[in-house]
Structure 1
Amino acid sequence: MWNPIKTFSNLSIIVKLSLLVSLSIIFVISLGNIWSYLYLKEYNLESIENTQREINTNTLKALEFYFNTQQVALQALRKEIVENPNLSDKEIINLLELFRVGKDLDLLYIGLDKSIKNIRSNGKILSLETNYDVRERGWYKFAKNKTSQGEIEFGITTPYKDSSGNISVSYVLPMYRDGEFIGVIASDDNLSKLSNLLEVGKTKVGTTNVYDSDGTIVFHTEQDKVLSKNTLSENIAKSLQTNPGLTNGTLFEVVDNEKELSEVICSNIAKTNFVACSIVKKDFYYKELRNNLVRQVISGGIGILIALSLVTIVLFYILSPLKKLQWGIQNFFDYLNFKRKDIAKNPIIADDEIGKITEKINDGIEQTKQRYQQEEVMLKETIQVCQDIEQGILSSRITAIPNNPNLLNLQKNFNLFLDILEKKIGSNFNLISEILDCYKNSNFTAKVQNEKGEMEVNINALGIEISKMLNQRKEFANLLNEKARKHC
């Protein structure tokens, strides 16, 4: 069974360090990427939401500015008509046309409550005589209804198809003279102008549309969708009806026409019942995050590869002296085991920790080498002394002094043993043997010169005593011979 710990322990130190540093780098970079992704996720979501809210605000401002422009024009026209009650129909037509051209409107007209007339800037005057009752018109009712509710200011009607088939919207403003309702002043505006305003809120990822409270599309960049409803508009209306507070620019989710989630921000348009809503596919929010994640993974992977490559190169460079140190230590042990006759010092490449270790090892190698050399000298001397002893020379001594305490003790004891032998026997056993040979041949005059050992002294003494005894016998024999001659 594979044991990862054992496998790791069998690796070289360079590989181990490379793996550990690599894993540390991967962990740190991965942790940094995770933190960066979480931070960027929150930042991107907030940034996209703020951008969407800004687009919604800009669209709202563009629409309200345009509506305010129309309101100011109608208020100025209303003032002229109210302050000049004796204007003829022709003068009113001229005044309407003057304002229409100045404000680039499609049609400008007023509806008078008493005369039940509809006087238009194009010169037409409609009345009951032409089977036209201005009081039954939607725009007129809309303005008068606002008046009955206490709202006497500017109003905008829901888009409608005019007599020419174009979709238009009417701006209405009730007229009062001395507190009495006298009619309504209104203008028609082609929806294409308003649709152009929505281009402000159109981006590559979303659009801004205007909806009525029931989900009817009021303004849209695609005019064929105006006055219709779809899944998106109805779901927006339901959300706003359930929670009216969402019109304050709060981001909320709805299911769109493709049955996908969209992020929506809505704002009320002043002086209307409409809301301007900016819509962005929710997938776009997270698509950007996915892109960021992919970029981070790729950049992180490249960073890890570069870091690992640099770390591996640096580690191999820094730890390369270990190879030479390992080779030097192996040679050192071969030297200790007598596999090598000599050993060189390890080269010191740098003055770092490895260099200091190498220096210490070199000192140890030098000391060991000197000790081995001293021991070798001692061993050679010991062999020579043994050979001298074998030759009968007992005066030889081991003079080499080893550093090894055990060998030093052996040297001292061995020399002491030789001292005892020399003291008890003599300095040269060969001389003793020669003297004994002389004694064997009845030559008792031979003598050990410069005798030191007890045996040498005793042998010399023995020779002297034997010589004395022989001389005494000789003298006694001579004496007997002399006496024998006398008796004869």
Structure 2
Amino acid sequence: MNKTKRLGVSSKLTIWIGLMIVFMLITTTLVSYYQSKNISFELLKENQLKVMHDVQTTFDNYASARMRAIEVLAKKYGANPDMQIEEMVSLLSSVKDISGFNLTYVGFEQSEKTFLSNGSMLDPSKNFDTKNTIWFKQARDSGKIISTNPYHSVDSNAPTLTYAAPFYKDGKFRGVVAGDYDIKNFSKDVLTLGHGNNSYASVYDTDGNIIFNEDQAKILTKNTLSINIKNALANDPRLLDPNVRDTLFYADNDKGETQAIMCTPSLTNPSLRICSVLEKKIYDDISNSVLYRQCAIGFSALIIILII
């Protein structure tokens, strides 16, 4: 009787100990899963953040180099605005080739003539109004170097960005020097840094237009993703705060696929947002992978404990 009773108590004790071990194992597995998931998530997010900042640095350096070239031209024309046409065209052509512009040119206030690096000249007699062009007016009115909003070139229909700077002689405004840059080349040279198997970098303006993108067909267009990004940034300005690191947000593309996105403003042009775009399922796949691994480990350990 006592022996039977002792066996019953022993069996119950064994069951309770087993249940406690199982509970502790499940708890440990869950804690380990959430820790591993968070670590993996943070590592992926940090990598995306680094890519975004690397693209931003390259983007701004690329733009700054071309802006400096135009500023150098402006100083030279300011020092000698009455140089010979041959010298003027030669200077324009040299800067064009060195800095990778598609075209450089200088427009004069008094004569209303514009001389191009290809040797041609435009003026009112050729139905060209130098003083009312966007690049001329913006540079003249701002009194400093500017970059125009991207537009389709009249000559080639290529998406183009113009840098322009005014120049002066003895404090008097004399004209504007400018350079056109093909956005397709800009995108190809800069944004490849942010390209991955499931990610890419893109640049948008405040209206949701795609300004720079590796897919040339998307440049100067809008799509569902660009509009959703614009709305998200407008609704939460904190997402563009350079002092905040936790700026990951989600937006759907045209196919309804959710993308994980980080954006930062360009230092050379604050109206542009440089964004790193990664499929959200990459984050989800990491979480699922961690879950499956932890479940396998926990289940194996549970079987061994139950056998023992």
TM-score bracket relative to the smaller structure: 0.7 to 0.9
What is the CA distance between 1:78 and its match in structure 2?
A: 1.6
Match of 1:67 among 63, 66, 84: 63
Looking at structure 2, the residues matched to 114 and 240 of structure 1 have their Cα atoms a distance apart, in angstroms, of 44
- 2:280 is equivalent to residue 282 of structure 1: yes
8 Å CA contact retained: 2:184, 2:212? no
Greater alpha carbon shift after TM alignment, 69-78 vs 200-209: 200-209
- 2:212 is equivalent to residue 214 of structure 1: no
Match of 1:254 among 251, 255, 274: 251
- 2:172 is equivalent to residue 180 of structure 1: yes
What is the CA distance between 1:220 and its match in structure 2?
A: 0.8
State the number of aligned residues.
297
What is the CA distance between 1:227 and its match in structure 2?
A: 0.9
Indicate the RMSD between aligned Cα atoms, in angstroms.
2.5
Q: Which amino acid aligns with 2:296?
A: I
Q: Which amino acid aligns with 2:160?
A: S
Q: Which runs of 5+ in 1 are unaligned?
A: 1-5, 313-488
**Of Structure 1 and Structure 2, which has the larger fraction of its residues in strand?**
2
Task: Report Cα offsets for 1:216-250 as digits up to 9, x if no partner.
Answer: 11011101011111111112222333333321252
Distance 1:240 1:114, change over 3 A: farther
Match of 1:153 among 131, 137, 145: 145
Match of 2:83 among 75, 84, 87: 87
The residue aligned with 1:231 is 224
Looking at structure 2, the residues matched to 79 and 200 of structure 1 have their Cα atoms a distance apart, in angstroms, of 33
Looking at structure 1, the residues matched to 19 and 196 of structure 2 have their Cα atoms a distance apart, in angstroms, of 44
8 Å CA contact retained: 2:103, 2:118? yes
- Secondary structure, counterpart of 1:303 in structure 2: helix
Looking at structure 2, the residues matched to 162 and 11 of structure 1 have their Cα atoms a distance apart, in angstroms, of 93
Looking at structure 2, the residues matched to 181 and 25 of structure 1 have their Cα atoms a distance apart, in angstroms, of 85
- 2:26 is equivalent to residue 30 of structure 1: yes
TM-score by length of 2: 0.86
8 Å CA contact retained: 2:203, 2:272? yes
The residue aligned with 1:429 is none
Task: Report Cα offsets for 1:9-42 as digits up to 9, x if no partner.
Answer: 66986x974x556544433332221111121232
The residue aligned with 2:263 is 266
8 Å CA contact retained: 1:142, 1:157? no
8 Å CA contact retained: 1:162, 1:168? no
- Secondary structure, counterpart of 1:86 in structure 2: coil
Q: Which amino acid aligns with 2:149?
A: T
Greater C-alpha Rg: 1
TM-score by length of 1: 0.56
Task: Report Cα offsets for 1:258-307 as digits up to 9, x if no partner.
Answer: 33433322111123221112222333322211111111111222333345
The residue aligned with 1:301 is 299
8 Å CA contact retained: 2:71, 2:145? no
Looking at structure 2, the residues matched to 180 and 271 of structure 1 have their Cα atoms a distance apart, in angstroms, of 27
Q: Which runs of 5+ in 2 are unaligned?
A: none
Q: Which amino acid aligns with 1:189?
A: Y
**How is 1:104-115 mapped onto 2 (pairs within 5 angstroms)?**
104-115=100-111
The residue aligned with 1:482 is none
Q: Which amino acid aligns with 2:255?
A: E
- Secondary structure, counterpart of 2:185 in structure 1: helix
Distance 1:270 1:287, change over 3 A: same
8 Å CA contact retained: 1:169, 1:190? yes
Greater alpha carbon shift after TM alignment, 214-223 vs 33-42: 33-42
- 2:43 is equivalent to residue 47 of structure 1: yes
Task: Report Cα offsets for 1:75-117 as digits up to 9, x if no partner.
Answer: 2222111111221122110011111122222211112222111
- Secondary structure, counterpart of 2:278 in structure 1: strand
What is the CA distance between 1:62 and its match in structure 2?
A: 0.7
Q: Which amino acid aligns with 1:256?
A: N
The residue aligned with 2:160 is 168
Looking at structure 2, the residues matched to 40 and 178 of structure 1 have their Cα atoms a distance apart, in angstroms, of 67
Looking at structure 1, the residues matched to 21 and 148 of structure 2 have their Cα atoms a distance apart, in angstroms, of 65
Q: Which amino acid aligns with 2:289?
A: N
Q: Which amino acid aligns with 2:62?
A: Y
The residue aligned with 1:140 is 136
Identical columns (%): 27
Looking at structure 1, the residues matched to 88 and 261 of structure 2 have their Cα atoms a distance apart, in angstroms, of 46
Question: Whose relative contact order is higher, 1 or 2, with alpha carbons under 8 Å and at least 6 apart?
Answer: 2
- Secondary structure, counterpart of 2:248 in structure 1: strand
Looking at structure 1, the residues matched to 260 and 72 of structure 2 have their Cα atoms a distance apart, in angstroms, of 41
**How is 1:243-392 mapped onto 2 (pairs within 5 angstroms)?**
243-249=236-242, 250-272=247-269, 273-309=271-307, 312=308
Looking at structure 2, the residues matched to 247 and 213 of structure 1 have their Cα atoms a distance apart, in angstroms, of 12
8 Å CA contact retained: 1:156, 1:271? no
Q: Which amino acid aligns with 1:268?
A: P
